[in-house]
Chain A
Amino acid sequence: MSDYQQPLAEYRIRSQPYYLPRGDEVAIARAAHANGLPILLKGPTGCGKTRFMEFLAWELDLPLVTVSCHDDLSTGDLVGRYLIKGGEAVWVDGPLTTAVRAGAICYLDEIVEARKDTTVVIHPLADNRRELPLEKKGELLTAPPGFMLAISYNPGYQSVLKDLKQSTRQRFVALEFDYPAAEFEAEIVAHEAGIELPTAAALVKVATMTRALKDSGLPEGASTRLLIHAGQLARDGIAIRTACRVAITGALSDEPELLEAVDEIVSSVF
């Protein structure tokens, strides 16, 4: 069967994403999928949650429908709504409905950013019913075995408003993500950015030091993603200190003293 005959062909991952498993998370996610359980990915920004989902979709050979949640995301945005087209009211499926119909993976990124009343629509999908009622259309969808629901959030924000409700979180298999151990992280950075391993290891050293600055006013340390950005710039001929300054330091904070301190870290390591 060629790609074009498959449902949601545009949502398929076409080549194997690079992902270095750090534990048994792949096995757990596979088992969760086999049992129709939804998963919750917890972890700081840029540590590989989305990449993990891509890898999982590749492994399971399923389309991956990703929704980046925002604070204006309504139920209609997820489920679907009637639109007026050429004088007729036409129902248009939202991404969640699309994924349920096709038995794909639906990944709601940064779920806590969505309005609390919106999150509730995933409840019947996330327990053993695995159903999605389309109230306005008067239709009840039952998810096929392939369908999987995944959500992610970053517990680091520590805001009262941006916490996941108990009734939501207690439906998920939780997978904790953190920055990989230094040698793995270096390997990832080297691979993704296409740079030498020693340079990648030095970038990881910078990141580790910035992560230790949490108590000194830096909300979050440099993520793996930032390291890859810096590495990519360096690979294309930008001087490494400059690459770090624009890709890491500048992205971390706006506070002049902290920026300078991170710069000092960079200039010590490189």
Chain B
Amino acid sequence: MTSSTLLKERLPTLLRVEAANYWEIEDHIEQLAEQPAEVQQEILRQVEAIWPVSQALCFIFLDQVPKALQCLHHSQLSAWVNATLDVYEKDGLQQAHRFMAEVEANFLCQIRGEAGISLVEASGRLLPYLRGLAGFELELAAATEVYTDGKTIFLPPEITLFREKSLNFLTYKLLASCQWALLAGGTFDLRLDPEQPPLSELSEPVAEMLKHHRQSWPVQPFPANFWNLFPQPELAADLFTLLETRRLLARLRDELPGLMRDSAVVLAQLHRQRPEAAMQRDKNRLLEALSQWLLQGQIKGDWPAAEQERLSRALELLDGESTPPESATPATTLNQTSALYQFLAQLPGEYRPEDYQPLLGGRLRPAAVAASRQQQREEQRQRFIKALGLVLPPTADGQEESPEATTRQAPSPPTSEHAALMPPPPGPPPESPEAEQPGTRQPEYITLGEQEIKLPEELRELAREIRDDLGRIPEHYISAALEQAGGGMATGAGPDAAAEEQAPPAGALVYDEWDYRRAGFRKNWCTLVEKKLPPVRSRFIEQTMAKYQGPWRLLKRQFEMMRLSQRFLRRQRDGDEIDLDAAIEAFSDLRAGQAASDKLFIRLTRDQRDIATFFLVDMSYSTEGWINTAIKETLVLICEALRVLGDRHAIYGFSGMRRSRSELYHIKHLDEDYDQAVQDRISGITPQDYTRMGPPIRHLTRMLSDTDARIRLLIIISDGKPEDYDDYKGDYAIEDTRHALIEAKNAGIHPFCITIDRQAHDYIPHLFGAVNYIFIDQVKRLPLRMPEIYRALTT
């Protein structure tokens, strides 16, 4: 029984189970012991891949794998696990568990190309479609019920309504479009106020009801507050949703006729899937009949003859006596809801909401919409206050760091009364009707007492969004910004510094990380933060230049010679001027009866050195001492050399600890001058923490991709292996770094690595690629080698 010993031997080590706790995995081993050796091998390989991601998931995997193997070939295990890990990283352990438990529906069907399409798969196409439709950045997310909170549209994680994938996608498209229509059609936007214009069209009974309940209106967002006016809000809600669906389907037919024409099959299928109305009881029966009528204009099965009259009356109410659905508004829906409710209320029996399946997805969630809008408003408020605070000059309160200023109870400065956001002058006063129109005018200036400050573009945009939402910019937004004026000093340094340690600060970037064990990315695995390097004013630069005085003269000459700017190309077919020599020769040739050359012109060409180089230097703890000094000297020399040459270059340092805190230190931006500030930052380079190379490489790749240059170079200077405090070690770290470099290359960037180490290691050619690195064992030689390397790379 060699195969059983294989698991017995290796599983405990892999799962870090000690001998005493062997019983924990005994069951698993027994279950899997009968599998042939190659299957066991495969299982062990997958355990290796899952373990570093989630240990809990690893045990779930061991639980599920025997069942999965009944329908999966062991060669499919890896794809299955990969799909599971994707689910895990997106939606957490529970969803991953659910995914694993239903191998058949969630995984196999997709592999067989049958039926289902997952939201993940669909969203690559669906999301841009939806955003184009909406005109703003809607999000998509998976949920068991279909609904929207105004910012995100929640759709089922998978649709298996049809056997054809394209039709299932179409179903997604229809559901998403309907949810968008709810948002665009104003289903959540009404204010339940009978004096407001849309509600003046309300029918008598509804208006009466509103007036009657005026005092006791529940404080809930529309339309929940409306539903709650009825004795049975659930029924009112389902009727309202049904009628809104009818209104919006009409709207979609009008606006997106292609979609609705294509979707006829989907509606028919949805109709087929509904229960027979006659099988339902009481009020549910009629509601079911109405739903089916809406989908297909017919009702499944036999409708009892005795209730025929009742049905036709209800259908009359559904179709609305006066307004065609295209011109209906939410107010019309209120009238109809009320009328239908009254009608259904007369019928005997109960209404059981749990037995009724709403059309085209789930029930409306006004509270979610309200919450997300509130959240958005709050985020806008904070961003606005922060951005405005940065623009405003510091007030007296802001400048002194007195204890009162750090407590947030400091009264708002008196100047706030004189502060107001103004549209560009000469603009109408804010209360004039013209200014009420959202988006017509963007406030461009803020007046603060006597002063007028022009708002930057980003802030203007934000101000416009807030005005669109609230109709104006509330006074307290501005007064709060005044409190923070001068860069938010009023918040004090203490809590800020603490917060920085824990949560990633705003503006942090997330990057995927390559996991070679599963041959896939760990999604959004690392957080990269750009940090400022405290400048150090010292004589380091001068000392370096003095130290390398001799070689520098030579280097400078070499670099000057590379500075090709303009040159004349003689004997061209086409050019700005006549090449006299060539012309005379041609004439002589002609006189001599020979064929003359037609290359008679001089052309001026400018060979621009269109190069952008990013230097990425290792600031890990291991560079402490000589290496750090050598790196700094290298940077000084290369900066001087590139100043001579005029090539654009940028310098960043990197370090960090764990995946949540990968740090990038700005030393010199691409088009920043090599000035005192840059020199101070070079002097200030000090060893920090660990060497996680993937995130900074990916970040610089992204920055370089956005740079317009013919040749884009990424030069990385590091010592030894990539390594971090967590599991970023060994093969994993090497493979991730290698992959990041490959990604850079695929993006049209030339990465080049300079590695400083005592001895050459076997992994280096694999890590960097055979021709893309240089190994330096004598650190003292680095400063002079660097310009040479650069020259070789760019000529």
Contacts and interface: CB of A to CB of B under 8 A. Distances in A.
Q: Do A and B associate with each other?
A: yes
Interface of A: 74-76, 81-82, 84, 87, 89, 115, 136, 159-162, 205, 208-210, 212-213, 215-218, 241, 257-258, 260-262, 264-270
Contacts of A84: 578, 583, 586, 600
A265 B133 contact: yes
Nearest to A259: B125
* Residue of A115, A161, A209, A241 with most chain B CB atoms under a 10 A cut-off: A209
Interface string B656-684: 00000000000000010000000000000
Contact of B259 (A74, A87, A216, A267): A267
A212 B257 contact: no
B725 interface: no
B626 interface: no
B204 interface: no
B129 A264 contact: yes
A267 B671 CA distance: 46
Nearest to A209: B132
Nearest to B670: A160
Contacts of B575: 76
Given A74-B604, A213-B131, 12 more contacts: A76-B575, A84-B586, A87-B590, A210-B132, A212-B131, A215-B131, A216-B132, A260-B124, A261-B126, A261-B127, A267-B258, A270-B257
A159 B587 contact: no
Interface stretch (B134-142, B424-432, B497-505): B134-142
Contacts of B173: 264, 268
A81 B125 contact: no
B577 A265 contact: no
B577 A136 contact: yes
* Residue of B131, B137, B255, B587 with most chain A CB atoms under a 10 A cut-off: B131
15 contacts: A74-B576, A84-B586, A89-B583, A159-B708, A161-B708, A210-B132, A212-B136, A213-B131, A215-B137, A216-B127, A261-B132, A265-B129, A268-B173, A268-B177, A269-B258
A217 B136 CA distance: 13
A29 B87 CA distance: 59
A260 B132 CA distance: 12
Interface of B: 124-129, 131-137, 173, 177, 255-259, 262, 575-578, 583, 586-587, 590, 600, 604, 606, 671, 708
Contacts of B132: 209-210, 212-213, 216, 261-262, 265
Given A87-B587, A212-B135, A81 B577 contact: yes
Contacts of A261: 125-129, 132
A136 B578 CA distance: 11
B183 to A, nearest CB: 14
A190 B766 CA distance: 61
Contacts of B135: 208-209, 212
Contacts of B127: 216, 261
Contacts of B133: 209, 212, 265, 268
A266 B708 CA distance: 33
B647 to A, nearest CB: 15
A149 B166 CA distance: 54
Contacts of A115: 606
A174 to B, nearest CB: 17
Contacts of A215: 131, 137
A219 B590 CA distance: 55
A19 to B, nearest CB: 26
Given A74-B576, A76-B576, A260-B125, A216 B131 contact: yes
Nearest to B176: A264
Contacts of B590: 87
B578 A89 contact: yes
Contacts of A75: 576
A179 B489 CA distance: 44
A215 B256 CA distance: 23
A208 B126 CA distance: 17
Nearest to A206: B132
Contacts of B578: 82, 84, 89
B129 A212 contact: no
A268 B256 contact: yes
A33 B764 CA distance: 67
A241 B258 contact: yes
* Residue of A115, A258, A261, A264 with most chain B CB atoms under a 10 A cut-off: A264
A268 B128 contact: no
A117 B126 CA distance: 47
Contacts of B587: 87
A15 to B, nearest CB: 36
B474 to A, nearest CB: 28
* Residue of A136, A218, A269 with most chain B CB atoms under a 10 A cut-off: A269
Contacts of B136: 212
B413 to A, nearest CB: 37
Contacts of B134: 212
B324 to A, nearest CB: 19
Contacts of B576: 74-76, 81
Contacts of A262: 128, 132
B564 to A, nearest CB: 16
A264 B263 CA distance: 12
B129 A269 contact: no
The 6 closest A-B pairs by CB, nearest first: A261-B128, A209-B132, A268-B259, A76-B576, A264-B129, A212-B135
Nearest to B591: A87
Nearest to B132: A209
Nearest to A136: B577
